[in-house]
Chain A
């Protein structure tokens, strides 16, 4: 069993739709949870960073953490074609060694 599981997709939605991305994990000791966006042939870009269970909102992005279920989510409201990318969840039990999901490829159709 992988430490972090993420549905690879691909996910295709029309412009303006809500994009819902999920990851599950097996190590209950994970403390920090992150979402990265990676455009093709580019490096990952940090989108959201959370520590505790609950929701965190930043503009059109909402990150959700449920530690009891070992499940995290990212929601993108009013999706735009520029949101088309691969989204990576990542988590760590200390303060530096990230464990990544395999990434979900999202296409937002104009």
Chain B
């Protein structure tokens, strides 16, 4: 049973470009969470999604960031017009139901140059 799959593992974008981060949850998991990890800081909750629904986006910046989890396909975290401050590791986690025991992927490391 494959774990949570994130791609790409590394992403370099120039300022002003768009970044798309993908997350395929574990088989049988319908709940997806995105976290951001800045250097020297802990992981910060961004958004919680179920299939076709955003349940809680209280940790998402109000502008430029969006997330989706369509009926088919992976969950996508989209960052428009990236800035240097968006450089971070973005982790996706999944669980079979709403549960604190989430399983994390390996992360996507975004570098904005």
Nearest residue, chain B, Cβ from A32? B100
Chain A's nearest CB lies how many Å from the CB of B82? 21
Q: Are B91 and A100 in contact (CB under 8 A)?
A: no
How many residue pairs, one in A and one in B, have C-beta atoms under 8 Å apart? 65
The count of residues in chain B whose C-beta lies closer than 8 Å to any C-beta of chain A is 29
> Is residue A44 within 8 Å, beta carbon to beta carbon, of the partner chain?
yes
Q: Are A95 and B91 in contact (CB under 8 A)?
A: no
Q: Are B105 and A98 in contact (CB under 8 A)?
A: no
Residues in B whose Cβ lies below 8 Å from that of A95? 98-100
The residue from B35, B40, B100 contacting A34, defined by CB atoms under 8 A apart:
B100
Q: Are B45 and A46 in contact (CB under 8 A)?
A: no
> Is residue A65 within 8 Å, beta carbon to beta carbon, of the partner chain?
no
> Is residue A13 within 8 Å, beta carbon to beta carbon, of the partner chain?
no
> Is residue B95 within 8 Å, beta carbon to beta carbon, of the partner chain?
yes
Within 8 A of B (CB), among A70-91: 88, 90
> Is residue A102 within 8 Å, beta carbon to beta carbon, of the partner chain?
yes
> Is residue B85 within 8 Å, beta carbon to beta carbon, of the partner chain?
no
Q: Are A46 and B103 in contact (CB under 8 A)?
A: yes
Known: A34-B100, A44-B91. A88 touches B43 (CB 8 A): yes
The count of residues in chain A whose C-beta lies closer than 8 Å to any C-beta of chain B is 25
> Is residue A97 within 8 Å, beta carbon to beta carbon, of the partner chain?
yes
> Is residue A57 within 8 Å, beta carbon to beta carbon, of the partner chain?
no
Nearest residue, chain A, Cβ from B43? A100
Q: Are B100 and A44 in contact (CB under 8 A)?
A: no
Residues in A whose Cβ lies below 8 Å from that of B59? 97
Residues in B lying within 8 Å of A, measured CB to CB:
4, 6, 31, 33, 35, 40-45, 48, 55-56, 58-59, 91, 95, 98-107, 109
Residues in A lying within 8 Å of B, measured CB to CB:
4, 6, 8, 32, 34, 36, 41-46, 49, 88, 90, 92, 95-103
Q: 21 A-B pairs, CB-CB below 8 angstroms? A: A34-B101, A36-B104, A41-B109, A44-B91, A44-B104, A46-B101, A49-B101, A90-B43, A96-B31, A96-B33, A96-B95, A97-B48, A97-B59, A98-B33, A98-B43, A98-B100, A98-B102, A99-B45, A101-B42, A102-B41, A103-B42
